[in-house]
């Protein structure tokens, strides 16, 4: 009988344990993607990017003489319907780890097993399953460095090849038309503006990894902090949808290290930050939507996301060039350099004293590399409410950060057009992407600071001193 392989955030053919196992059986394989409530609930940019990813993956399957069957509805009902229609005896998928998906998958697995269908979940999204990494006393890790120490010498599965062939079913079940799902509908900003920055699909991800290993990784340690230099792998976009596996990145990094490229160790460590985020989300799902340090619930955050400060922050007009450049980069490219993410998050939660959830939500809306675990961990790290976080009293100064990490102003001049006779095309693209009612033009004067850095810092430190925990 056929095997249904249910794809979710694992849009690749190589190093895909579930697909590999299905192909090994020699039975017909029916790849399926289901548009259910969890897909419906995605924010604008991740949903749009998912739509592109699905289209590209469907093409890759067609090259293998296979197909991606698209269906909309409750995941269990869709699978049951497909089982009836195709006579499938098994459903395989790759595990995910956020609480909503885990609950859905458990329900699906139990129901399918009860009706005598083989339901198997596989790894692939992570190198280290969150429950397999334990402290000496059997707990989970709350601090990164010991987590790193405990996994760094572990054997990571070698990447699997793509199945040479996929046996096709006697008859393909009907499929929806991807265009009818309209996954880009919620993109407020011009999708055409973001599209040139997307590197779509498994082949592009492999080229990205190859190029980074050839040209970027050796100097990664020094360059990764400089937003004006293309010094990082940019793989987060592809890792987010599983267009590449962390294992493939890890083994490439290990080979580079072996070849004497020193920056590779830092790269491996960053991959493990992603694993750490998942470890935390698995063990403490409150990471996603509540202060991880529960006492922070009493902190006097401003929670009004419509206030003028939040508006200026989102629109990249705080008058703080590093912050504004990064927010505009986000809006245009759907990504933001890690240094920028740290600075804008610190600025929002400290200088502006706004709740980290406001920033988390805006990032979720805008990022094409949105990852539930890394985004939540990043925000709680910056705000001081998270595990292994930067302390609240350590307030990044965006002006001194600029002198340190964007000395020649390569980054800020790429993203800020106001006051420049010859603005960079990317800085101008921002004005094409934004809605009219933002009422911004490249011919405007660059805005004054909405808050003096000292005043903002002192206000935040006062609130922290007077906190009731
Ligand atoms: P590289 O520097 O090439 O690193 C390689 C890979 O390691 C990345 O692709 C990523 O998978 C992982 N990685 C690197 N840094 C981190 C980190 N700090 N935490 C977790 N994993 C990391 N990353 C996302 O993938 N999605 C998000 O939604 C996201 N939101 C963030 C929000 C905030 C406030 C902060 C401070 C960080 C966030 N990050 C997020 C982490 C980090 O900024 C990005 O992973 C990184 O900028 C991606 O660029 P890259 O692929 O070139 O990374």
Q: Determine the angle formed by the axes of helices 372-383 and 263-283, rounding to 10 degrees.
A: 90
Asked whether residue 218 falls in the same domain as residue 247, the answer is yes
- Parent domain of 153: 126-157+198-283
In the structure encoding, which two tokens stand for residue 34, read together? 């289901």
Q: Which of 38-52, 383-397, 416-430 has the lowest mean pLDDT?
A: 383-397
Asked whether residue 276 falls in the same domain as residue 317, the answer is no
Whether ligand 1 lies within 6 angstroms of the CB of 224 is answered as yes
Residue 190 has pLDDT above 80, yes or no: no
Asked whether residue 338 falls in the same domain as residue 256, the answer is no
Q: How many other C-beta atoms can be found within 10 angstroms of the C-beta atom of residue 150?
A: 15
- Is 186 within the bounds of a domain? no
Residue nearest atom 23 of ligand 1, based on CA coordinates:
374
pLDDT band at 347 (very low <50, low <70, confident <90, very high): very high
- Is 27 within the bounds of a domain? yes
In the structure encoding, which two tokens stand for residue 313, read together? 């922050």
Determine what percent of the chain is predicted with pLDDT higher than 70.
Answer: 100
Ligand 1 closest atom vs CA 345 = 34
Mean pLDDT value across residues 433-450: 96
**Distance of CA 124 to CAs 19, 20, 190, 246, 263, Å?**
11, 11, 33, 8, 25
Asked whether residue 105 falls in the same domain as residue 205, the answer is no
Asked whether residue 135 falls in the same domain as residue 52, the answer is no
- Is 364 within the bounds of a domain? yes
264-290 confidence digits (pLDDT tens): 999 999 999 999 999 999 999 999 999
Distance in angstroms (rounded) separating the CA atoms of residues 61 and 57: 6
- Is 188 within the bounds of a domain? no
Residue 48 has pLDDT above 80, yes or no: yes
Asked whether residue 224 falls in the same domain as residue 312, the answer is no
Residue 192 has pLDDT above 80, yes or no: yes
Residue 369 burial (C-beta neighbours within 10 Å; 0-12, 13-18, 19+): buried
Mean pLDDT value across residues 55-76: 98
- Is 175 within the bounds of a domain? no
230-253 burial, b for 16+ CB within 10 Å, e for fewer?
ebbbbbbbbbbbbbbbbbbbbbbb
E strands within 115-220?
118-122
Asked whether residue 338 falls in the same domain as residue 351, the answer is yes
Residue 393 has pLDDT above 90, yes or no: no
pLDDT band at 138 (very low <50, low <70, confident <90, very high): very high
Q: DSSP 3-state assignment of 65?
A: coil
Asked whether residue 141 falls in the same domain as residue 116, the answer is no
Residue 74 has pLDDT above 90, yes or no: yes
Residue 193 has pLDDT above 80, yes or no: yes
Identify the pLDDT of residue 191: 79
Asked whether residue 256 falls in the same domain as residue 203, the answer is yes
Mean pLDDT value across residues 338-362: 98
Distance in angstroms (rounded) separating the CA atoms of residues 462 and 218: 43
Mean pLDDT value across residues 218-222: 96
Identify the pLDDT of residue 110: 98
Cα 98–chain centre separation: 13
144-184 confidence digits (pLDDT tens): 999 999 999 999 999 999 999 999 999 999 999 999 999 99
Residue 47 burial (C-beta neighbours within 10 Å; 0-12, 13-18, 19+): buried
Q: Among candidates 414, 419, 413, which has minimal Cα distance to 442?
A: 419
The CATH number of the domain holding residue 271 is 1.25.40.80
Mean pLDDT value across residues 190-207: 94
Asked whether residue 389 falls in the same domain as residue 424, the answer is yes
The CATH number of the domain holding residue 311 is 1.10.579.10
Q: Among candidates 423, 424, 417, which has minimal Cα distance to 444?
A: 417
Ligand 1 pocket test: which of 221, 243, 274 has the largest number of ligand atoms within 8 Å of its C-beta? 274
pLDDT band at 467 (very low <50, low <70, confident <90, very high): confident
Mean pLDDT value across residues 183-203: 92
Q: Among candidates 324, 293, 300, 331, which has minimal Cα distance to 399?
A: 324
Query: What is the number of residues in the chain?
Result: 469
Asked whether residue 272 falls in the same domain as residue 339, the answer is no
What's the total number of domains in the chain?
3
- Gap from CA of 118 to ligand 1 centroid (Å): 36
Asked whether residue 350 falls in the same domain as residue 221, the answer is no
Whether ligand 1 lies within 6 angstroms of the CB of 349 is answered as no
Determine what percent of the chain is predicted with pLDDT higher than 90.
Answer: 95
- Is 167 within the bounds of a domain? no
Identify the pLDDT of residue 392: 86
Asked if residues 330 and 336 have their Cβ atoms less than 8 Å apart, the reply is yes
Distance in angstroms (rounded) separating the CA atoms of residues 16 and 157: 11
- Gap from CA of 375 to ligand 1 centroid (Å): 8
Whether ligand 1 lies within 6 angstroms of the CB of 368 is answered as no
Give the mean pLDDT of the chain: 97
Q: How many other C-beta atoms can be found within 10 angstroms of the C-beta atom of residue 202?
A: 25
Whether ligand 1 lies within 6 angstroms of the CB of 238 is answered as no
Identify the pLDDT of residue 186: 93
The CATH number of the domain holding residue 6 is 3.40.50.620
Is the interface score ipTM higher than 0.95? yes
- Is 329 within the bounds of a domain? yes
354-371 confidence digits (pLDDT tens): 999 999 999 999 999 999
Distance in angstroms (rounded) separating the CA atoms of residues 192 and 376: 28
Beta bridge partners of 354: 302
More confident residue, 468 or 451: 451
Identify the pLDDT of residue 388: 84
Distance in angstroms (rounded) separating the CA atoms of residues 49 and 27: 32
Residue 390 has pLDDT above 90, yes or no: no
Asked if residues 430 and 325 have their Cβ atoms less than 8 Å apart, the reply is no
Whether ligand 1 lies within 6 angstroms of the CB of 358 is answered as no
- Gap from CA of 377 to ligand 1 centroid (Å): 10
Quickly list DSSP for 284-345.
-GGGGTS-SSGGGGGS--B--TTSHHHHHHHTT-SS-HHHHHHHHHHHHHS---HHHHHHHH
Beta bridge partners of 56: none
Whether ligand 1 lies within 6 angstroms of the CB of 299 is answered as no
Residue 468 has pLDDT above 80, yes or no: no
Q: Of 283, 302, 319, at which residue does a domain stop?
A: 283
């Amino acid at each position: 009988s056929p095997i249904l392989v249910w794809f979710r955030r694992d849009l690749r053919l190589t190093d895909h344990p579930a697909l590999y196992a299905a192909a090994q059986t020699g039975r017909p394989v029916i790849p399926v993607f289901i548009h259910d409530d969890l897909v419906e609930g995605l924010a604008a940019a991740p949903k749009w990017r998912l739509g592109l990813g699905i289209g590209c993956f469907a093409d890759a399957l067609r090259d293998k003489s296979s197909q991606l069957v698209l269906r909309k509805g409750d995941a269990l009902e869709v699978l049951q319907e497909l089982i009836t229609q195709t006579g499938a005896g098994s459903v395989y998928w790759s595990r995910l780890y956020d609480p909503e998906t885990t609950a859905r998958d458990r329900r699906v697995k139990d129901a399918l097993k009860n009706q005598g269908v083989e339901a198997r979940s596989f790894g692939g999204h992570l190198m280290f399953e969150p429950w397999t990494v334990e402290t000496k006393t059997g707990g989970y890790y709350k601090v990164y460095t010991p987590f790193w120490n405990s996994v760094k010498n572990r054997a990571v599965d070698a990447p699997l090849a793509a199945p040479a062939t996929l046996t096709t079913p006697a008859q393909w079940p009907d499929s929806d038309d991807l265009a009818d799902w309209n996954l880009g509908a919620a993109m407020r900003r011009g999708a055409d503006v973001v599209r040139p920055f997307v590197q779509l699909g498994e082949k592009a991800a492999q080229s990205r990894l190859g190029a980074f290993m050839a040209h970027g990784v050796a100097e990664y340690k020094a360059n990764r902090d400089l937003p004006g230099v293309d010094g990082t792998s940019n793989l987060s976009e592809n890792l987010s949808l599983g267009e590449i596996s962390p294992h493939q990145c890890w083994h490439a990094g290990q080979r580079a290290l072996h070849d004497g490229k020193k920056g590779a160790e830092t790269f491996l460590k960053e991959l493990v930050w992603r694993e750490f985020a998942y470890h935390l989300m698995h063990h403490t799902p409150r990471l996603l939507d509540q202060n991880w340090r529960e006492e922070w619930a009493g902190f006097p955050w401003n929670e009004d996301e419509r206030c003028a400060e939040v508006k200026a922050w989102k629109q990249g007009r705080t008058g703080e060039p590093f912050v504004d450049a990064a927010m505009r980069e986000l809006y245009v490219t759907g990504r933001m350099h890690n240094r920028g993410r740290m600075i804008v998050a610190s600025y929002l939660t400290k200088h502006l004293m706004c709740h980290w959830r406001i920033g988390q939500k805006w990032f979720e809306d805008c990022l094409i590399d949105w990852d539930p675990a890394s985004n939540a961990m990043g925000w709680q790290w910056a705000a001081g409410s998270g595990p292994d976080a930067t302390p609240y009293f350590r307030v990044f100064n965006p002006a001194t950060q600029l002198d340190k990490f964007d000395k020649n102003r390569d980054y800020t001049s790429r993203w800020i057009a106001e006051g420049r006779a010859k603005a960079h095309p990317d800085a101008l693209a921002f004005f094409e992407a934004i809605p009219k009612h933002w009422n911004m033009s490249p011919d405007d004067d660059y805005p004054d600071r909405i808050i003096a850095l000292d005043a903002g810092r002192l206000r935040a430190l006062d609130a922290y001193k007077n906190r009731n925990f």
